[in-house]
Structure 1
Amino acid sequence: MNYLPCEIIETDNDVDASVIWLHGLGANGHDFVPIVPELQLPDDLKIRFIFPHAPSIPVTINGGMTMPAWYDILAMTTEREFNHDQLLDSSKAVITLIEREIEQGIESSRIVLAGFSQGGAVAYQTALAYDKPIAGLMAMSTYFATHQTIKVHPNNSKLPIHVFHGQHDPVVPEMMGQQALKYLQDFGFQPVYKNYPMEHAVHPAEIKDISIFLQKVLS
């Protein structure tokens, strides 16, 4: 089995939960590693944080430049024109990481998916369509790219979801985060939505809210 290369941080020698966290366009798996200690999680949360590296591919909106990306973006419209097949391929690659965690003894219901920006679009597709129940989904500064095509699996139809967005985001405008919220509600989810006085980034208050969410779904 070929797995995505990953950065891995464990908060204990005997982990019983996993968080798979997907970076944004042009970044890599190192991007969110420094946030782990900032979460200030309690000692009884024994988590393996997995930060995969996206493959490097040509990206149309950046003049065809090759960079880490989960899928090609063809146009920066409010609905985003993107390579649907590549997004699904990235989702499948993330599922192999989930399955590896299960094979290593982590119950699916102890696995959280998280994604920032483009990584969040992949996280939406993966978490909601996955056929085993997972613990939760964190969608950060992102959009629900596959809302028209996704088939939500019954095992994750009640998934706890937290949506985070910047009020001044010039890359993924907050309207796109609010649209994702509506799409989720239309599917019957009851997501929590919080925004922050930031651009396309992570706010200190958001880090605190991420910590609270992880403690809620993994305690």
Structure 2
Amino acid sequence: MIRVLVCDDQALIRTGFATIIDAQPDLEVAGECADGLAAVADARRLEPDVVVMDVRMPGIDGIEATRRLAGAEVDRPIKVLVVTTFNIDEYVYRALRAGASGFLLKDAPPAHLLHGIRTVAAGAALLAPEVTRQLIGRYATRIRAAGPVPGAVPLTARELEVLRLIATGLSNAEIAATLAISHETVKTYVSRILTKLGLRDRVQAVVYAYRRGLVA
């Protein structure tokens, strides 16, 4: 079972999400909360597999709550799927920078929410289709502006090739087609890359690639 903590300051939305999630045979709601501080406390206490996090909440917002739960400085990071009403680049950028594994809009169909939870729980990254390619381009520009991080990259030539394709926003299927290899082989490469680099998911892999100057 994938255990989910639902965090939203609107009771109706919270209840709606919880109902949709609990109706699935492989998902269960571990808890619900209505503000950022409660989200942090409940997530640390309940240790869910995924936190569904709103952005605008009282106390501390969902971005700060995400940073405290999923940021690079956290010893035991928790996977966060940010779900918001606002399709604003700055929110998406800040959410991913804080450590979120995914981003969805609240007006997405319920199936997208369920897919997002399962995707994030499996260790993959998820961005709403409306923002994926555009976001990577804008986020990459900001990372480049900060300058590359020096140091050797402990990957083989093929793994570097796969990492560069991940950083351009390609899915596993697209990478497989580009390199003329099987989908399963791509999954193996991705898993190996994340393990070698100590990364949580594909979002962190994208950030790593741009920070290391591996993508033009």
Is the strand fraction higher in 1 or 2? Answer: 1
Higher relative CO (CA 8 A, sep ≥ 6), structure 1 or 2? 1
Is the helix fraction higher in 1 or 2? Answer: 2
Rg: which structure is higher?
A: 2
TM bucket, shorter chain: 0.3 to 0.5
- Please report the TM-score for the alignment, with normalisation by the length of structure 1: 0.41
- Please report the TM-score for the alignment, with normalisation by the length of structure 2: 0.41
